């Protein structure tokens, strides 16, 4: 039996009691918004990584789909702290989610506006998302046959639950093909992102990453990596990247709450650089790892310690 607690609509409940009705609107239509937030142990306690920024994005996502989340930013941040305090030592990943719930009449239909908004926050174990070996040696990825929706077709700046079926089918495709992850192109045929990660390319000493207009999520880890890279004196450029550019890049790496900083070893069986984490990737990866553990005062504001 899992002894952790889950925050549901304002109170902590036992793990096994955290249930929703089978006719919940969000289950049928993907009408929810969510976040993923890492929790790191350090000498001062447990640090929640950029808690306020994540929960502000959470509320922004809800705003994009006209969902009235009945909690303030401060209330949501405190709820996350409460869940972390109640979690076991293995809890390293927070999952806040708000979704439209069961209609008062019990009816099912696309329009959710008469449904209540339910909010849940759980703390569970994530570990190394693609695997410890991939963090060290690099991941093998493939270009998915599925593309990202265009900015005309989806709210790509928001973490909307329904959007992620696109990522799910791409990740399944990657696994079936023996890869660790999938790279997704946008409707213009340019590089967008992974199924849950932003992407960076190192070429001729500079670091490139697709811009927001490429149909990517504005990643919070992405923002940290860009700050770390620039603090190291690396030039970081946001521009469109083609698939074939990646094949001849010096280094490629992916970033995200779950992925952290994961080097890419191969793309579509093309070996990237020397087939292992390159010097810039390794330098950024090591600095990020030290920052999230609270070892670098310059970045200690990224952690909300409980």
What would the pLDDT profile of 225-235 be if each residue is shown by its tens digit? 999 999 999 99
Q: How confident is the model at residue 130 (pLDDT cuts 50, 70, 90)?
A: confident
Buried b (16+ CB within 10 A) or exposed e, 40-76: beeeeebbbbbbeebbbbbbebbeebebebebeeeeb
Reference 181, options 248, 172, 222; nearest CA is 172
Q: Does domain 5-124 have CATH number 3.40.50.280?
A: no
| 51 Cβ neighbours under 8 A, 6+ residues apart | 37, 77, 80, 81, 304
Q: Side-chain half-sphere of 109: how many Cα atoms within 13 Å?
A: 10
Q: How confident is the model at residue 1 (pLDDT cuts 50, 70, 90)?
A: low
At residue 22, the pLDDT reads: 97
Average pLDDT in the chain: 96
Name the percent of the chain lying above pLDDT 90: 92
**Looking at 159, 203, 232, 298, which residue is catalytic?**
159
For the cut 80, the answer to whether the pLDDT of residue 208 exceeds it is: yes
* Topology adopted by domain 132-295: D-amino Acid Aminotransferase; Chain A, domain 2 (3.20.10)
Name the percent of the chain lying above pLDDT 70: 100
Contact 267, 242 (CB under 8 A): no
Start-end ranges of CATH 3.30.470.10 in the chain?
Answer: 5-124
At residue 134, the pLDDT reads: 87
114 has catalytic annotation: no
Start-end ranges of CATH 3.20.10.10 in the chain?
Answer: 132-295
The encoded tokens of residue 299 equal: 């970045």
């Amino acid at each position: 039996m899992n002894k952790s607690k889950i925050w549901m609509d304002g109170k902590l409940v036992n793990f096994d009691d955290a249930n929703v009705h089978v006719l919940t609107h969000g289950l049928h239509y993907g009408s929810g918004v969510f976040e993923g937030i890492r929790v790191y142990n350090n000498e001062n306690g447990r640090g929640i990584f950029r808690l306020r920024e994540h929960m502000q994005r959470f509320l922004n996502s809800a705003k994009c789909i006209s969902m009235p989340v009945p909690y303030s930013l401060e209330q949501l941040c405190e709820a996350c702290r409460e869940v972390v305090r109640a979690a076991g030592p293995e809890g390293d990943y927070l999952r806040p989610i708000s979704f439209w719930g069961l209609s008062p009449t019990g009816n099912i239909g696309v329009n959710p506006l008469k449904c209540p908004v339910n909010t849940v926050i759980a703390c569970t174990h994530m570990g190394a998302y693609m695997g410890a070996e991939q963090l060290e040696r690099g991941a093998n990825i493939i270009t998915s046959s599925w593309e990202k929706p265009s900015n005309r077709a989806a709210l790509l700046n928001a973490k909307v639950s329904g959007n992620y079926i696109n990522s799910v089918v791409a990740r399944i495709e990657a696994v079936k093909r023996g890869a660790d992850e999938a790279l997704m192109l946008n409707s213009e045929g340019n590089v967008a992102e992974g199924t849950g990660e932003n992407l960076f390319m190192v070429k001729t000493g500079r670091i490139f990453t697709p811009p927001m207009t490429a149909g990517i999520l504005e990643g919070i880890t992405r923002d940290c990596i860009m700050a770390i890279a620039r603090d190291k004196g690396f030039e970081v450029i946001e521009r469109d990247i083609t698939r074939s550019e990646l094949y001849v890049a010096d280094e490629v790496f992916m970033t995200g709450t779950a992925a952290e900083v994961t080097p890419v070893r191969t793309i579509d069986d093309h070996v990237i650089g020397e087939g292992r984490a390159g010097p810039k990737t390794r330098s950024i990866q090591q600095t990020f790892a030290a920052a999230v553990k609270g070892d670098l005062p310059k970045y200690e504001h990224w952690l909300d310690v409980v």
